[in-house]
Amino acid sequence: MDTCIEKIRAIAADLLARGTVEKVIGFADGSIPMATRPIAVSSPKEVEKLVFNSVCGLNLANYVSKNSLSKKEGKIAVVAKGCDARNLVTHIVENQISRDQLVIIGVPCTGMVDKRKIAALFEDEITGFEETGDTLIITSSSKTETVNKADVLRHNCQVCTHRNPPVYDVMAADPVPEQTLEQPYADVDHIAAMDADARWAYFEELTQNCIRCYACRNACPLCYCPTCFVDESSPQWVGKGQDTTDVATFHFLRAFHCAGRCTDCGACVEACPMGINVRDFTRKLNKDALELFGWEAGLDLDKRPPLDVYSPNDPNDFIK
Amino acid sequence: MRFITIDKKNWTQGIDQSRKTYQVFGPVRDENGCQIKPLAVDTHPEMDAAVTVMSPKSVLFPQTEKILTATLDESKEDHHIMKPVENGDIPRVVLGIRPYDARAVQLLKLNFDNPDYQDPYWCEAYDATTFVGLGVTHPGPCDFSTAVGSGPFNEEGLDVIMADMDDKYLAKILTEKGEKWAAACGFDLAADARESQALFDILRKEAEKQIQAEVATDQLAEKNILDLYEAPFWDDVAFSCINCGTCTFVCPTCWCFDIQDETRHNTAVRFRNWDTCMSPLFTHHASGHNPRGTRVQRVRQRFMHKLKYFLDKYDQGIMCVGCGRCVASCPVNIDIREVCNRMNDYETTK
Amino acid sequence: MENPYLPYPVRIDDIEVATEDKSLKTFTFVFVNPEDEEKFAYQAGQFAELSIPGVGEIPIGIASSPVEKGFVKFTVFRTGVVTTHLHNMKKGDIMGIRGPLGNWYPWDKLENKNVVIIGGGFAFTTLRSSIVYMLDPANRNKFRNIDVVYGARSPGMLLYREELFEWEKRDDINMHITVDGTDDPDWKYHTGFVPQVVEDNAPVADEDTYAIVCGPPIMIKFTQPALTKLGYQPHQIIMSLENRMKCGIGMCGRCNIGKELVCKDGPVFTLEEINQTPKEY
């Protein structure tokens, strides 16, 4: 992938030098192999810290919702992959930030790697990670592996059909070809085909390692409620312990709150310290939004999400 | 103290024999990494597993623990009177615990077992648990235990420390509890003390050499709390933090908990659950006032507690054993080693 | 091993509405097991966790005084889940108390000293405990002059009104009762905010005078300068802090201010000690 980092840095430096924006939110190198970290740079000489590569798996739109920004912040630029840009569109539509407060530095993306898949190739801990083009060279104290990026892509990137930001102010590279998929929701269909008992068992196993750290919720740009439903006390909707019903309730309800809004950016799974694929829940609802309302989130600044507006054509066969 | 050798061919058999006395915990791999888990009758610890994602603190301090119950049935004489839950002091053994995690247990002990109050749940679990450590011959890239008072072959908090010698384990029995465990397993082959200690010393040196931790803590004690608190770098440190609970939950020395009541039909139960200073609710008063209502304040609290308040309060070093789990698991790669250096190096301009 | 999480069972013996807007009620508890009362022996300034099975616990300052036997009293403001539940309970209901918790006002240090007590709103609970303790015949001559400044929004919002007026009549204590405002023509005490009344009426400091201050953050913020004007040094100003608590025994880690745990190293601190900690309360 053309990481287009030089272009990103140039754009950022230019925006900052002219004073068009107060800060640019992007990624910087991390302190351990396969890590990057979100940073905000506010002067042209800092743009050298910005990086863009195949381990930029978080969603920077997370840093521009109302509760992330202080009231007096000026214009901000955000480095945005296809999915991230769609979340920025959703933020604008949901009044979390105004269009003119944002400069979207669009980055066409050919996908992020699945760090767990890579770690599973080794018995010991990874000590080095290098990327050249589509080849990854990963080392540990016992061996070196050379891998094709395509073989270790995250699942959401494998099924991504919006690699290019649909809305942007400036693009850091030429658009990349979009994928067309025969069966984009094969994973959802597989679960939906299970009978109720099998499905319940599947979900129990899926969430059994959950430690209620809320990294998934906090990494998600959509989860910006000042008080999340799990934190309410009057009344208390969900217990805070490890009871399996409480854990499942958190995941189910969170997925429903993201229905029609989720862009499948994968930040939730990336953030989870236990590697739980919470996308099994959100993707089902994304599929429903597509099939029931013809809707995909974050593609159009002028359209409101289907759960936000009423139309007489809304499906209503659930009304008996 | 004495040394024994354990032929690896006898290892699983010995573990199985010890199940008559102990509930056995040890590291196992699953699709998501390694965890310390209670081992069912036909499972054995994977002693060559990499560092576990979660620390062993849950053996003594489960994430959710019932502590009291009461019946709400007013026809009963003791209605609304709370009674303690017996969590049982079944003897346990944690196999393959890393030395830094054993030190972490000793740091937790400062909190749960002090002259003023003793937490009966934690203390009884501690008394019932034997820690059989395995020296870490290949410390990973996130291990910085030598910089913070521990190390790959440290003995603090362990009842036995073992070294992996390919076809056997060389074990140094450190305490009474360790002796009892060895006896329960039937591990009894004595090894020469001087030679064994020499071997341990070599292994320790080799392992410590591999840790390239550049973490300085020597100036932290003499810094003024308020100077560090007012330092200008906290905004920078806190920018990317998403205030989840990952760092606190994977950390072997974090001990904060919440107490919550739940009812089911006619029974009231009081639980304690792990809690995290990263949560906005942590310090939220009923009046709505929140002394740590912003993200920066919470991030600052975590590092100040770990690297300064604890140091000042207990004079036992910092509240970090260098396991590196927070570094490995933090979704946004906030690195405590970097923050520690910033704090250690910080000079006020006045 | 003693279990510090286990509450003593108590029965609600009396409930009094404490303020005209009914937002505060004073609860009198009696120990179900009489021997628990001795185990609960407390000092003025301490607090306890009121424990309602299935609902939760709340840390509340003890309003009754160590010299009052046979019961313990707490005045509770209705503000959240547990306090609302408590307010709806009845005489005879069973619940629990854990304690006594925290440190107390430094009675040793205050012997042979002049004591100025300053309270605002419903933070007067442990101050009541202190005054009753000091005025008790067995204790009164351990202390020199006692001055009290206590204010609330209106007469109906003053706690322990009847006792306040009784104390006002005594000659071994100087009461300065004030309200922010009132349209009661028979109001014979002060009108005005606590900080101003302090400045006008509290004794000038000397090395044998200490002030105990307890109140909402805003009152403390403006009372401090008034005390400074009168010459009080930070080590002579004693404060009782509040913070969110759960265990009350210094173990759950929630209530810290710097390295001090408000539930165990406090809640009583001198201003000198507080000035050396981050202001996270």
Q: Chains with 3 or more CB pairs closer than 8 angstroms to C?
A: A, B
Nearest CA in chain C to A233: C81
Q: What is the pLDDT of residue C219?
A: 84
CB contact under 8 A, B333 and A271: no
CB contact under 8 A, B309 and C2: no
Residues in chain C, pLDDT under 70: none
Shortest Cα distance, chain C CAs vs residue A230, angstroms = 16
Give the residue ranges of DSSP H helices in B186-332: 193-209, 225-229, 234-238, 246-250, 295-304, 310-314, 325-329
Partners of residue C80 in chain A, C-beta under 8 Å: 233-234
Query: Of the candidates B249, B271, B332, which has its C-beta nearest A211's C-beta?
Result: B249
Beta bridge partners of A106: A80, A171
Partners of residue C96 in chain B, C-beta under 8 Å: 80-82
> Rounded to the nearest 5 degrees, what angle is found at the Cα of B60, between the Cα atoms of A230 and B306?
70
pLDDT, average across residues A131-154: 94
Partners of residue B260 in chain C, C-beta under 8 Å: 56
The verdict on B79 touching C (C-beta cutoff 8 Å) is yes
Q: Report whether pLDDT(A1) > 60.
A: no
Q: What is the pLDDT of residue C279?
A: 87
Query: Nearest 5°: phi and psi at A128?
Result: -155, 150
Q: Chains with 3 or more CB pairs closer than 8 angstroms to B?
A: A, C
* Strands laid side by side in the A135-140 sheet: A126-132, A135-140, A144-148
Contact status, residue B333 vs residue A31, Cβ threshold 8 Å: yes
Q: Report whether pLDDT(A314) > 80.
A: yes
Percent with pLDDT over 90 in chain B: 91
Shortest Cα distance, chain B CAs vs residue A30, angstroms = 6
Shortest Cα distance, chain A CAs vs residue C84, angstroms = 10
CB contact under 8 A, B80 and C51: no
The verdict on A36 touching B (C-beta cutoff 8 Å) is yes
Q: Would you tell me which residues 143-182 of chain A have a C-beta closer than 8 angstroms to some C-beta of chain B?
A: none
Tokens linked to C164:
């306040």
CB contact under 8 A, A40 and B31: no
CB contact under 8 A, C3 and B123: no
CB contact under 8 A, B263 and C280: no
Give the residue ranges of DSSP H helices in C136-245: 161-169, 194-201, 217-229
Nearest CA in chain B to C95: B80
pLDDT, average across residues B144-171: 96
The verdict on B294 touching A (C-beta cutoff 8 Å) is no
The verdict on B1 touching A (C-beta cutoff 8 Å) is no
Contact status, residue C191 vs residue C179, Cβ threshold 8 Å: yes
Residues A216-244 have pLDDT tens digits of: 999 999 999 999 999 998 899 999 999 99
The verdict on C252 touching A (C-beta cutoff 8 Å) is no
Partners of residue A236 in chain C, C-beta under 8 Å: 81
What one-letter code names the amino acid at C253?
A: G
The verdict on A215 touching B (C-beta cutoff 8 Å) is yes
pLDDT, average across residues B312-326: 96
CB contact under 8 A, B327 and A31: yes
Partners of residue C215 in chain B, C-beta under 8 Å: none
In chain A, DSSP assigns E strands to 23-29, 36-41, 50-51, 76-80, 102-106, 126-132, 135-140, 144-148, 170-171
Nearest CA in chain C to B284: C244
pLDDT, average across residues B295-315: 96
Q: Chains with 3 or more CB pairs closer than 8 angstroms to A?
A: B, C
pLDDT, average across residues A282-296: 94
Nearest CA in chain A to B339: A31
Partners of residue C95 in chain B, C-beta under 8 Å: 80
Instruction: State the CB neighbour count (10 A cutoff) for residue A122.
Output: 17
CB contact under 8 A, B68 and C5: yes
Q: What is the pLDDT of residue A2?
A: 59
Instruction: Count Cβ–Cβ pairs < 8 Å, chain A vs chain B.
Output: 115
Q: Quick one: which of A36, A62, A59 has its CA closest to A49?
A: A36
CB contact under 8 A, B327 and A209: no
Shortest Cα distance, chain B CAs vs residue C145, angstroms = 35
C-alpha distances (whole Å) from C256 to each of B25, B278, B302, C272 are: 34, 14, 11, 17
Q: What is the pLDDT of residue B350?
A: 59
Instruction: Give how far the C-alpha of residue A314 lies from the chain's centroid of Cα atoms, to the nearest Å.
Output: 28
The verdict on B263 touching A (C-beta cutoff 8 Å) is no
Instruction: Give how far the C-alpha of residue B187 lies from the chain's centroid of Cα atoms, to the nearest Å.
Output: 27
Percent with pLDDT over 70 in chain C: 100
The verdict on B239 touching A (C-beta cutoff 8 Å) is yes
More confident residue, B167 or A69: B167
Best A233, A236, A237, A240 member to test C by mutation, with max C CBs in 10 Å, is A233
Shortest Cα distance, chain A CAs vs residue C81, angstroms = 7
Contact status, residue B31 vs residue A119, Cβ threshold 8 Å: no
Nearest CA in chain C to B261: C54
Shortest Cα distance, chain A CAs vs residue B329, angstroms = 6
CB contact under 8 A, C80 and A233: yes
Q: Quick one: which of B167, B206, B193, B186 has its CA closest to B9?
A: B167
Residues B98-124 have pLDDT tens digits of: 999 999 999 999 999 999 999 999 999
CB contact under 8 A, A273 and B250: yes
Best C81, C87, C244, C252 member to test A by mutation, with max A CBs in 10 Å, is C81
Q: Report whether pLDDT(A125) > 90.
A: no
The verdict on A59 touching B (C-beta cutoff 8 Å) is no
The verdict on A233 touching C (C-beta cutoff 8 Å) is yes
Q: What is the pLDDT of residue C221?
A: 84
Residues B252-287 have pLDDT tens digits of: 999 999 999 999 999 999 999 999 999 999 999 988
The verdict on C80 touching A (C-beta cutoff 8 Å) is yes
The verdict on A231 touching B (C-beta cutoff 8 Å) is yes
Q: Report whether pLDDT(A192) > 80.
A: yes
The verdict on A234 touching C (C-beta cutoff 8 Å) is yes
The verdict on C231 touching A (C-beta cutoff 8 Å) is no
pLDDT, average across residues A189-201: 96
Rounded distance between C-alpha atoms, residue B8 and residue B11, angstroms: 5
End-to-end CA distance of chain A: 52
Partners of residue B282 in chain C, C-beta under 8 Å: 244, 254
pTM value is 0.94
Rounded distance between C-alpha atoms, residue C234 and residue C120, angstroms: 20
Nearest CA in chain A to C83: A234
Query: Of the candidates B242, B332, B333, which has its C-beta nearest A32's C-beta?
Result: B333
Residues B184-239 have pLDDT tens digits of: 999 999 999 999 999 999 999 999 999 988 899 999 999 999 999 999 999 999 99
Per-residue confidence band for B31, with pLDDT thresholds at 50, 70 and 90: confident
Per-residue confidence band for A20, with pLDDT thresholds at 50, 70 and 90: very high
